[in-house]
Structure 1
Amino acid sequence: MSTATLAAFAAQDSAPARVPATTLPEETFAVPPPEAGRVYLVSHEPMVPLGARAIQLPILMYHYVRTPPSIRVDRLGYRLSVSPAVFQSQMDWLFTHGYHPVNFNQVRAYFAGTSPLPSRPVVITLDDGYQDLYTTALPILQTHHFTAVAYIVSGFINQPGYATSDEVVQLDRAGIEIGSHTVSHPDLAHVSFASAMFQVVESKRVLEGMLGHPVLDFAYPSGRYDAETIQAVEKAGYDTAVTTSGYPQLHTSQNRYTWSRVRVTGGEQLPDFIIGLGPSMNTVNTTRLSLESTPFSLQQQT
Structure 2
Amino acid sequence: MLPQVWRVRAAAALALVLVLAVVASGRMGLFARWQGGQTSPVAAQHPSTSASVPATFPSAPPGGKPAASEIVEPGRPQLHVPVLMYHYIRVPKEPPRTVGYDLSVTPDDFRAQMDWLAQNGYSPVTLRDVSAYLANLGTLPGRPVVLTFDDGYADFYSTAWPVLREHHFTAVAYLVSGFLGRPGYLTPEQVAELDRAGVEVGAHTVTHVDLTIVAAADLVHELMDGKASLEHIVNHPVLDFSYPSGRHNPAVEKAVQAAGFDTATTTEPGAAESADSRYAWPRVRVEGQEPLARFAQNLGPLDPTVQASSPTG
**Alignment TM-score, normalising by the size of structure 1:** 0.77
Q: Secondary structure at the match of 1:245?
A: strand
One-letter amino acid matched to 1:168? V
Structure 1 residues 238 and 149: alpha-carbon distance in aligned structure 2, compared to 1, 3 A threshold: same
2:298 is the alignment partner of 1:276:
yes
Percent identity, please: 47
Partner residue, 1:251: 273
2:196 is the alignment partner of 1:173:
yes
- Aligned-residue RMSD, C-alpha: 2.8
One-letter amino acid matched to 2:202? G
Q: Contact conserved, 1:102 with 1:147, CA < 8 A, in 2?
A: yes
One-letter amino acid matched to 2:245? S
Structure 1 residues 184 and 282: alpha-carbon distance in aligned structure 2, compared to 1, 3 A threshold: farther
Once residues 45 and 103 of structure 1 are traced to their aligned partners in structure 2, the CA distance between those partners, rounded to angstroms, is: 23
**Offset, 1:280:** 2.5
Q: Contact conserved, 1:119 with 1:282, CA < 8 A, in 2?
A: no
> What residue ranges of structure 1 are gaps of 5+ in the alignment?
19-41, 284-302
**Offset, 1:76:** 1.1
Once residues 123 and 60 of structure 1 are traced to their aligned partners in structure 2, the CA distance between those partners, rounded to angstroms, is: 6
**Offset, 1:46:** 4.9
2:54 is the alignment partner of 1:54:
no
Partner residue, 2:187: 164
Task: Flag the structure with higher helix content.
Answer: 2
> Deviation string for 1:125-149 (max 9, x for gaps)?
0000000111111101011100010
Partner residue, 1:242: 265
One-letter amino acid matched to 2:108? A
**Offset, 1:195:** 1.7
Once residues 73 and 91 of structure 2 are traced to their aligned partners in structure 1, the CA distance between those partners, rounded to angstroms, is: 42
Q: Contact conserved, 1:63 with 1:126, CA < 8 A, in 2?
A: yes
Q: Secondary structure at the match of 1:122?
A: strand
For CA contacts below 8 A with separation 6 or more, give which structure has more relative contact order. 1
One-letter amino acid matched to 2:188? S
| Worse-superposed segment, 273-282 or 80-89 | 273-282
Q: Secondary structure at the match of 2:269?
A: coil
Structure 1 residues 143 and 50: alpha-carbon distance in aligned structure 2, compared to 1, 3 A threshold: farther
Q: Secondary structure at the match of 2:212?
A: helix
User: Equivalent of 2:90, from 63, 66, 69?
Assistant: 66
Q: Secondary structure at the match of 1:189?
A: coil
Partner residue, 2:288: 266
Partner residue, 2:34: none
Once residues 45 and 211 of structure 1 are traced to their aligned partners in structure 2, the CA distance between those partners, rounded to angstroms, is: 39
One-letter amino acid matched to 1:277? L
Partner residue, 2:173: 150
User: Equivalent of 2:108, from 85, 99, 112?
Assistant: 85
2:133 is the alignment partner of 1:110:
yes
Partner residue, 2:149: 126
Count of matched residue pairs: 252
**Offset, 1:68:** 1.6
User: Equivalent of 2:220, from 197, 216, 241?
Assistant: 197
Once residues 133 and 282 of structure 1 are traced to their aligned partners in structure 2, the CA distance between those partners, rounded to angstroms, is: 33
Structure 1 residues 220 and 71: alpha-carbon distance in aligned structure 2, compared to 1, 3 A threshold: same
Once residues 173 and 194 of structure 1 are traced to their aligned partners in structure 2, the CA distance between those partners, rounded to angstroms, is: 33
**Alignment TM-score, normalising by the size of structure 2:** 0.74
